[in-house]
């Protein structure tokens, strides 16, 4: 496992893939996020970075192994991601993205319900501690992944 505590910053998680952030770490982040939020349903999206799909798959594996159902909204921009979190009535959301970093970076932007951000002050450090400890309870069930597309509804809402 490649892991660097420095990937946890003030408002998101991001690092150089795979030197600082790899799929094993992404899976642990999914498990920790599930445990931290106690979410039943999490909305997950990603930007178009080449490393996004494998990190998203690993994140979703961690979430579903903790019993969380996932709404996979695929490749989206940040605005559509935030809209999707609310529209899907998810308990939380994770966007696989490192928007202000160069291509070799990737990471995660995390929210609670209604796209309320998770930052250092509101839980990111707790999630980091869980990832570092790596002790995750076994979920009662395996979560289900469903794909959804809220792009038309988002566009319609901006034209009203």
Distance, first Cα to last Cα, the chain: 48
CATH at 101: 3.40.120.10
**What's the domain count of the chain?**
1
Residue 91 pLDDT more than 70?
yes
Nearest to 92 by CA among 106, 78, 74, 71: 71
Residue 160 pLDDT more than 80?
no
pLDDT band at 1; cut points 50, 70, 90: low
Domain of residue 40 covers 5-158
Please compute the mean of the pLDDT values over residues 50-79 and round it to a whole number: 97
Please compute the mean of the pLDDT values over residues 28-39 and round it to a whole number: 97
pLDDT band at 101; cut points 50, 70, 90: confident
Instruction: Report which of residues 4 and 123 the model is more confident about.
Output: 123
Residue 4 pLDDT more than 90?
no
pLDDT band at 123; cut points 50, 70, 90: very high
Give the pLDDT confidence score for residue 159 in this predicted structure: 78
Residue 104 pLDDT more than 90?
yes
Nearest to 98 by CA among 34, 36, 20: 20
Residue 2 pLDDT more than 80?
no
- Distances in Å between the Cα of 158 and the Cα atoms of 77, 83, 113, 147 are 15, 11, 21, 23
CA dihedral (14, 19, 24, 28) positive or negative: negative
DSSP state letter for 72:
E
Peptide bond into 18 cis (omega under 30): yes
- Distances in Å between the Cα of 82 and the Cα atoms of 21, 49, 57, 97 are 24, 18, 20, 13
- Distances in Å between the Cα of 114 and the Cα atoms of 8, 43, 53 are 22, 11, 24
* 3-class DSSP state of 144: coil
Token pair 């995660």: residue = 108
pLDDT band at 12; cut points 50, 70, 90: very high
Distance CA 92, CA 100 (A): 22
Please compute the mean of the pLDDT values over residues 6-13 and round it to a whole number: 94
Helix (H) or strand (E) holding 70: strand 69-75
């Amino acid at each position: 496992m490649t892991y660097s505590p420095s990937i946890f910053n003030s408002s998101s998680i991001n690092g150089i893939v795979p030197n600082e952030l790899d799929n094993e770490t992404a899976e642990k982040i999914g498990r920790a996020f599930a445990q931290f939020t106690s979410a039943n349903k999490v909305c997950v999206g990603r930007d178009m970075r080449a490393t996004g799909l494998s990190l998203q798959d690993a994140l979703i594996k961690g979430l579903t192994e903790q019993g969380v159902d996932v709404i996979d909204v695929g490749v989206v921009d940040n605005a559509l991601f935030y809209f999707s979190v609310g529209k899907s009535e998810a308990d939380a959301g994770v966007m696989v993205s490192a928007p202000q970093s160069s291509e070799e970076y990737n990471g995660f932007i995390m929210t609670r319900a209604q796209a309320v951000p998770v930052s250092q002050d509101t839980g990111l450090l707790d999630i980091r501690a869980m990832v570092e400890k790596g002790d995750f309870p076994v979920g009662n069930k395996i979560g289900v992944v469903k794909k959804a597309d809220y792009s038309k509804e988002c566009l319609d809402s901006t034209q009203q």
